[in-house]
Amino acid sequence: MYNSYGDIFMERKKVLIIGLIMILFIVISIIFINFPNIRLELIGEDITLNVYDEYKELGAKAYYKDKDISDNIYINNSNLDTSKVGVYKIEYIVQYRQSKKKVERTVKVIDKVPPVLTLNGDSIVKLTVGDEFNDPLVIANDNYDGDLTSKVEIISNVDKNTVGTYQIIYKVSDSSNNESSTSRTVVYREKVNVTKSPEIAVLNYHFFYDPTLGESCNESICIDVKKFREQLDYLKDNNYKTLTMEEFREWMYGEINIPEKSVLITIDDGAMGTGAHNGNKLIPILEEYKMHATLFLITGWWDISNYSSEYLSVESHTNDMHMSGLCGGVASGAQMLCSSQEEVLADLKKSIEITGSKTAFCFPFYAYNNKAIENVKEVGFSLAFIGGNRKANRLVDKYKIPRYPIYKNTSLQEFINIVSN
């Protein structure tokens, strides 16, 4: 029994205060447990990766008050797959003294690489009006989507019945909207009537030297640069066209006509005076006269970069088969004639890889046989040259095109007879 209302009031006040203290304690405990004094911070920002790139973890740091508790961080990246385009979340979770906190990092995996379009066949196709053009199409491959060939869009206005130059556009997009395009040029020309006329001289040189610089050359196929200039002067003064090898090919295949006063200048090997590394006589003279020539280079012997000029094209004279005396009963050109087909084809393909051209080939030492010709055809050459000391015309065998070797003792009159008769 309470003695008075005052005692009752005081007792109730005491209970109320105790209750409030307990409630406050509970609230503080809840705050402490659920909102602990833990800081969890990402190192670095969100990450964007190209598909297939390696993901490199940047990590995070965690602190409880001033204490480093980063060793308690658990990283969950189990759903990350950098081989698939998408958006991923990396979880960082820290737990300490019954307290727990989590943050996330966003990782975007994207594809920014466009598909690769590869033309089948040649980038420039030359046809005669009326000929059908069978488009060899393209191959489309993407780093992420794989083969997209079936999705290539083709835009073409080719008209086989009208002379002109046409463009075929090939376009393709991948699943990330990266787009690629390439094109092919198709040229339709007037039909050319192929006859034996005209006949033109294909000139064949080897080595160049300048006696005024103290240089000498004892071989019969050497030529003094003074004599070479005299010969070019005659061609220039008499309005001869010096053909590029591509122009000669087009003429031989009846695609174009050329002036009757035309010559093709060829040089074999790539030795003395022909390149920047061995005397550099040929190219400066060609550039001075603005006349074209073709070098048949033994590609495995000298670096093709030594022969760079807009007036000098480079074709194959084998990669490393310019050796004689290797076969019984064969006086020259023996290595190519008696090597296995596998060896010959490998050598020719290597030379094509270096020159970047299949337009023309020159048989070493002018030596050839049926097997050698078939090998040259198999790797895709359009023309092949020999010796012969006679003029070329469009009716001769395209793999036995004759040439006139020019010697040290070839007089100017003999040169004039060669190109004009």
Residue percentage of the chain with pLDDT more than 90: 82
Does 306 reside within a domain? yes
Does 220 reside within a domain? yes
What CATH number is given to the structural domain containing 49? 2.60.40.10
Does 32 reside within a domain? no
* pLDDT band of 29, cuts 50, 70, 90: low
Which domain-ending residue is among 189, 223, 240? 189
Same domain, 252 and 383: yes
Q: Which residues partner with 64 through β-bridges?
A: 38, 67
Task: Read off the pLDDT of each residue in 354-374 and give the average, rounded to a whole number.
Answer: 95
Same domain, 242 and 167: no
Please check the confidence at residue 305 and state whether its pLDDT lies above 50. yes
User: Which residue in the block uniquely carries the two structure tokens 């970047």?
Assistant: 356
What does the mean pLDDT of the chain come to? 92
Task: Read off the pLDDT of each residue in 107-135 and give the average, rounded to a whole number.
Answer: 94
Same domain, 120 and 208: no
Same domain, 304 and 402: yes
Please check the confidence at residue 329 and state whether its pLDDT lies above 90. no
Give the whole-angstrom CA distance, residue 334 versus residue 401. 20
Does 7 reside within a domain? no
Same domain, 77 and 136: no
Please check the confidence at residue 31 and state whether its pLDDT lies above 70. no
Does 217 reside within a domain? yes
Is pTM, for the whole model, over 0.75? no
Same domain, 103 and 120: no
Please check the confidence at residue 144 and state whether its pLDDT lies above 60. yes
pLDDT at 324: 82
**Total domain count for the chain?**
3
Give the whole-angstrom CA distance, residue 351 versus residue 322. 12
Same domain, 182 and 228: no
Domain that holds residue 159: 116-189
User: Reduced to 3 states, what is the DSSP secondary structure of residue 58?
Assistant: coil
What CATH number is given to the structural domain containing 208? 3.20.20.370
Which domain-ending residue is among 135, 157, 189? 189
Give the whole-angstrom CA distance, residue 209 versus residue 222. 7
User: Reduced to 3 states, what is the DSSP secondary structure of residue 124?
Assistant: strand
Task: Read off the pLDDT of each residue in 305-325 and give the average, rounded to a whole number.
Answer: 95
Same domain, 214 and 104: no
Please check the confidence at residue 333 and state whether its pLDDT lies above 80. no
Higher pLDDT: 9 or 225? It is: 225
